[in-house]
Chain A
Amino acid sequence: MEWANQLCENRQFGSKMTDSKYFTTTKKGEIFELKAELNSDKKEKKKEAVKKVIASMTVGKDVSALFPDVVNCMQTDNLELKKLVYLYLMNYAKSQPDMAIMAVNTFVKDCEDPNPLIRALAVRTMGCIRVDKITEYLCEPLRKCLKDEDPYVRKTAAVCVAKLHDINAQLVEDQGFLDTLKDLISDSNPMVVANAVAALSEIAESHPNSNLLDLNPQSINKLLTALNECTEWGQIFILDCLANYTPRDDRESQSICERVTPRLSHANSAVVLSAVKVLMKFMEMLPKDLDYYGTLLKKLAPPLVTLLSAEPELQYVALRNINLIVQKRPEILKHEMKVFFVKYNDPIYVKLEKLDIMIRLASQANIAQVLAELKEYATEVDVDFVRKAVRAIGRCAIKVEQSAERCVSTLLDLIQTKVNYVVQEAIVVIKDIFRKYPNKYESVIATLCENLDSLDEPEARAAMIWIVGEYAERIDNADELLESFLEGFHDESTQVQLQLLTAIVKLFLKKPTETQELVQQVLSLATQDSDNPDLRDRGYIYWRLLSTDPVAAKEVVLAEKPLISEETDLIEPTLLEELICHIGTLASVYHKPPSAFVEGSRGVMHKRLPARTGSGEGTESPDVGNVAGGSAPEAAPSIIPSQGDLLGDLLNLDLAPPTTTGPPPPTSGMQMGGMDLLGGGLDSLLGGDIGGSPAMGAGFGAAPAVMPASLNAPVGGGLGDLFDLGGGVGMPMGAYIPPKTVWLPAMKAKGLEISGTFARRAGVIQMELVLTNKAMSVMTDFAIQFNRNSFGLAPAGPLQVLTPLGPNQTIEVSLPLSTVGPVMKMDPLNNLQVAVKNNIDVFYFSCQYPISMLFVEDGKMERQVFLATWKDIPNDNESQFQIQDCHLNSDAASNKLQGSNIFTIAKRTVEGQDMLYMAIKLSNGIWVLAELKMQAGNPNYTISLKCRAPEVSQCVFQCYEAVLKN
């Protein structure tokens, strides 16, 4: 009468028959009760008990103790019970691996069941049990299921391969599952195809260089057929996969576009955006005069607009992507300005994005509308939004010259509102407007000056001070105004202090008679009372300039400034191209290349847009063709077989920044714009040629990952290297210096590329950096800082980059390091996190230093002491390693190691085996003792390391290997 009781109970509480009843047992002994119920003979009672267990699991209670009892319920004909037990297994198998084995037999049996639903369910669940022992048993059933006659089972099995790969990648490869999966791309059922593509794409992500999705015209055709028939999710996978394909010519490109276009009308926004990605990418290849090109452009606008009427979260992602699309092809949405108008109840994150796009689309034709809107937004409630709106007005003025006057008057209106943050933002943007249109709007200065007192944000104060200094001759009381700021000089932020210094010097040069006292005051404040090196430096420079040659000072300080560019926040063209290839992904939301943030994808291939190949287009294709055709043959005429081939090859070059570090080749004809595109390719191209390296051929395809610095030094051939011999060639004394590697690619650091290595010279640890500016603007104000690290490494002085780094310039810097900085254990031990700052931004990277840098010169030890210490260190601390394939005799090895402060204490020869006993002392006083066994004729050495801090052994071993092999 169990059910009757339950019914009564439910009626009593007046509730429906719901799952909440499973939560009623919260008293003690709950597990015990469940155990009894699970072992009940009554099927119904069992099922109810399993349900209770699942309910507890769902809310995060630990019911793993019931594992054996639940698994016992598994052999049943009742599908629901089976599913419930499977759910339980998936959750807890990991914590009870031995028990989980009990379930294997049932799984294997279920994989043979006549019902395809059960077969699929079994193989699906087995893949979710992340226990190594089980995966072994999974292989055979999986192999069968991949070839099952029922497509439902096949498609489930396809996903299972991805699961298995996640648990044990090696096993999947060994068992040949990847090939079977590739075969499934040609399956007759579209759902199987879609799942195979999805599984392969996921696997490919952890193997960036493998050629898993080998796309050719035949497989593309299959995918396109499946695209029409599979589910919406399958369509997303297939479209994303298609986007990786590079069509052979414009005709193929057009035919793919034609077949993808219908997806733009899909109800699922992810399908739409993936289709947009494919079209944006393949459109690149279409000749612009083609009718179809125009048609396609027109077709792209409506689906993008539709995305904006979806839920706000979808809108946000869509807007981030539209931001990229309007930068690449403004023509698509140029008539759709109004859909970006901000609505009152849009979430703030949507409002800010819309505003950004409005500015990008602003043009002479629609500027009146845009301004009216922006003015409206400036009176809204949300402070962040209002600020951005005010700033946007300024950007419109800079972008659309005809509107500048209207913008300025709008800004003045806003200043009249006296709302504090509105005024401050307005002043900041007006400063930029002055820079863009000199001698046009200075009449408003008076109004600005009225608001001097209300400015409390550094940026606004700095802007105002700049204006006063720049137009000192038109402001009668400029000296008074600036003097008033000077009173609290030390409380100001650096930005304001620097501006104030410059402004007063400007004022002095303009009105020398009245302001002599003021300028002396500020110079002494900046040079004597300040701790800020930037400020002091600037102060001294002005001081010397003024005292030695006032005329020169005037020329320097009051020099005509270059006009600021129209749009300041455009994404760099190379990055933009890459991001366009990643439309719809996280990269497109963050506007960063995937390599910058996706974990475990360090080797991700940089994608780029295909080039136009249409007939007759080759010579005049606008973006890339000119540069390639113009300058590349001049630069490297000897290795280029024919111009036609070159075009094709160069355009296929991987856009990754070069991993070698030579200075740019001295090609005078190279234009700035071209440099970005070709820099990477040409470097390795020239490198391969002159260096005679076998990588020459490969230089076309993909730049080799790391090129040793020694090879690189003669290659670059620039004067820089000759003057700075220490840079990469190596010390005569023979201390091991690892080759330079790229620590921070230009892609991640707005054009700044940093590569480098570590060295120990005459007892001083040096970090040797090569900074290359691959951006289009000058970089200045470099500084460096380390995070806390295992051995307390810290810069012993500032980063000495004295001259500004121009575009395409490279500079080598040596930074002495001390070991007295703050200590924190890192993983790996020799990891170093570095922040480098310049005038553009702060960039972070991490690198690993060879621990041999820390081996100090006084690491010699008496034999007795060595012996005693060796015995004293417990045997648990001993670790053994093999060094393979090394051909040195013991003396040579000993000499080599001594160069890196690894000192041989004793040598013993037993039965043709040389035993070297060595000692190392680390900068923090840790001793490492080593025994190196080498047998004549055997290239494999055995090394045993003993140390009180066994963590360092691995790093020390790596050093041994590196030193001995170089």
Chain B
Amino acid sequence: MIHSLFLINPSGDIFLEKHWKSVVSRSVCDYFLEAKEKALEPEDVPPVIHTPRHYLISIYRDKLFFLSVIQTEVPPLFVIEFLHRVAEMIQDYFGECSETVVKDNMVMVYELLEEMLDNGFPLATESNVLKEMIRPPTILRSVVNTLTGTSNIGDTLPTGQLSTIPWRRAGVKYTNNEAYFDVVEEIDAILDQSGTTVFAEIQGVVGACVKLSGMPDLTLSFMNPRLLDDVSFHPCVRYKRWESERVLSFIPPDGNFTLMTYHVNAQNLVAIPVYVKQSISFFESGSGGRLDVTVGPKQTMGKTVEGVMVTVHLPKTILSVNLTATQGSYTYDNGTKLLVWDIGKLNPQKLPNLRGSLSLQAGAPKPEENPSLNIDLKIQQLAISGLKVNRLDMFGEKYKPFKGVKYITKAGKFQVRT
């Protein structure tokens, strides 16, 4: 099972180590640091590295490397999932996941890691169970603790760990009972030069924020559940009900959680909300080139497209750009060769355009590669797949909760080739 964990910052310093079995020397990280040196970008470090005596499985998240050491055959996905859980736990407890935050809360992070694994076996990874055992810090509490000498450690048995619904603790009480759901859809797409869709799919997430007293039993139904043929559920969802009736029936965890993720990749169902007309060309002589990009709305279902942003990785040999934007503003970073054009809201009457000239370094040849454009966008109150929540019913409790559903569509990996 999982032997040790090291947290490493992008410059290669190890700032936290935790061992669940015998202590493994830090020097084992040298193999990883070597691989990191070889990789062009921190994202490119291979996630599984073989050393003579150990295996190193790592993730790169929030600009930090989470590196675990294992010695026997352990499913790598299990390790990677767990590492993400660690990152989420830090985020959840301290509001962000960064080196500073971890260093500031070293002892608590250490205590948490101790609770998450025992001898390398996962022990408590559900946030509500952890929070029952180790209370998250608040400024008020830390002052009170210092004054009264009480601690952050709960001394009750984490009941959730044993019940058949480990995700929910008993005795939850709220004065305002509310259940909110967010349907967030991300469009992953590749469009080719002519604007034809090469590939498109929708990654959907139904997130929930449920603050209900007692043991509510919820049923969420959709207007058009047939859309969903590829779903993964939070463990609380009763799979049988879904199979037979296509409704989500569950006793929710307390607080924020992801209820369901789904995936729509039937080509005809994926609407592409914007089109991009672009031309990036370089002169044969190699002295420079021209760039001309226009963005316009396509299938938006009558909604406004906001937060539009175009990012271009320009070739390495570009020296400078001289462009004008009819809407929004652009920035160009010569170090990373990243051109970012922040457009904002898309106005169908007056299409935003960015054009101008690119100049190359003296003597550099005509660039070989075609830069590609990454698009960012947001549409409020729309799930682009057409998914709609029908109703939410609650059983098992008597009070009337507040209910609400929000929809939002975003661009995921939305890429236009040139």
Interface residues of A (CB under 8 A from B): 3, 6-7, 16-20, 22-23, 43-44, 47, 51, 54-55, 58-60, 78-81, 83-84, 87, 91, 94, 115-117, 124, 127-128, 130, 151-152, 156, 159-160, 162-163, 166, 189-191, 195, 198-199, 202, 205, 229, 231-233, 236, 240, 262, 265-270, 272-274, 302-303, 305-306, 309, 311-314, 316-318, 338-339, 341, 343-345, 347-349, 372-373, 376, 379-382, 417, 419, 584-587, 589-590, 594, 597-601
Contact = CB atoms under 8 A, between A and B. Distances in A.
Contacts of A127: 119
23 contacts: A7-B146, A17-B143, A51-B107, A55-B106, A58-B106, A79-B155, A83-B153, A84-B107, A128-B119, A152-B158, A231-B235, A236-B75, A273-B77, A305-B265, A309-B188, A311-B80, A341-B199, A344-B372, A345-B415, A348-B40, A373-B198, A376-B417, A598-B73
A57 B47 CA distance: 28
B334 interface: no
Interface stretch (B51-59, B298-306, B323-331): B51-59
Nearest to A343: B413
B21 A58 contact: no
Given A198-B121, A343-B415, A314 B147 contact: no
Nearest to A160: B119
Interface string B99-116: 000011111101100100
Contacts of A156: 118
A935 B399 CA distance: 93
Q: Which secondary structure dominates chain A's binding surface? A: helix
B107 A379 contact: no
8 nearest A-B pairs in the assembled complex, by CB-CB distance: A302-B230, A80-B151, A80-B153, A18-B104, A270-B77, A313-B47, A233-B122, A17-B142
B73 A233 contact: no
Interface stretch (B159-167, B211-219, B289-297, B354-362): B159-167
B257 to A, nearest CB: 10
Contact of B80 (A151, A191, A317): A317
Given A16-B139, A347-B43, 8 more contacts: A54-B107, A59-B106, A79-B154, A267-B235, A270-B77, A270-B78, A317-B77, A599-B72
Contacts of B242: 265
B156 interface: yes
Contacts of B231: 265
Contacts of B105: 18-19
A61 to B, nearest CB: 11
Given A17-B139, A80-B153, A313-B58, A58 B232 contact: no
A19 B108 contact: yes
A78 B53 CA distance: 40
A127 B368 CA distance: 61
A231 B165 CA distance: 9
B265 A266 contact: no
Contacts of A265: 231-233, 239, 242
B76 A124 contact: no
A413 to B, nearest CB: 14
B284 interface: no
A680 B390 CA distance: 61
Contacts of B107: 19, 22, 51, 54-55, 58, 84
B194 to A, nearest CB: 12
Contacts of A16: 104, 139, 142
A965 B162 CA distance: 59
Chain B interface category by residue count: 35 or more
Contact of A117 (B61, B75, B157, B239): B157
A189 B162 contact: yes
A270 B190 contact: no
Given A267-B232, A302-B229, A306-B263, A318 B119 contact: no
Contact of B121 (A233, A312, A598): A233
A274 B108 contact: no
Contacts of A151: 162
A317 to B, nearest CB: 5
Contact of B114 (A87, A190, A600): A87
B114 to A, nearest CB: 6
Contacts of A349: 44, 46-47
A19 B104 contact: yes
A116 B126 CA distance: 20
B81 A268 contact: yes
B351 interface: no
B50 A590 contact: yes
A417 B368 contact: yes
B203 interface: yes
Contacts of B389: none
A305 B374 contact: no
B110 A54 contact: yes
Contact of A344 (B20, B59, B240, B374): B374
Contacts of B59: 311, 313
Given A80-B152, A270-B75, A313-B58, A58 B368 contact: no
Contact of B368 (A79, A116, A232, A379): A379
Contacts of B15: 59
A317 B119 contact: no
Interface in B116-174: 118-119, 121-122, 125-126, 137, 139, 142-143, 146-147, 149, 151-158, 161-162, 164, 166
Contacts of A191: 161-162, 166
Contacts of B149: 43-44, 47
A311 B261 CA distance: 14
Contacts of A338: 198-199, 265
B224 to A, nearest CB: 18
A16 B142 CA distance: 9
A317 B76 contact: yes
A269 B77 CA distance: 7
B55 A586 contact: yes
B25 to A, nearest CB: 10
B122 A231 contact: yes
B138 to A, nearest CB: 10
A589 B78 CA distance: 13
Nearest to B202: A309
Contacts of A43: 149
A152 B151 contact: no
Given A202-B1, A233-B78, A306-B263, A598 B16 contact: no
Contacts of A80: 151-153
B152 A162 contact: no
B277 interface: no
A273 to B, nearest CB: 5
Interface in B205-253: 229-235, 239-240, 242-243
A59 B16 contact: yes
A312 B372 CA distance: 20
B22 interface: yes
Contacts of B48: 316-317, 586, 589
A152 B161 contact: yes
A598 B201 CA distance: 39
Contact of B164 (A55, A229, A240): A229
B26 interface: yes
Contacts of B142: 16-17
Contacts of B74: 585-586
A126 B151 CA distance: 24
Nearest to A77: B155
Contacts of A130: 22
Nearest to A422: B368
Contact of A348 (B18, B44, B413): B44
Contacts of A199: 121
A124 to B, nearest CB: 6
Nearest to A235: B235
Most chain A beta carbons < 10 A, residue from B15, B81, B108 = B81
Contacts of A115: 155, 157
A243 B363 CA distance: 62
A846 B135 CA distance: 54
Contacts of B161: 152, 191
A339 B370 contact: no
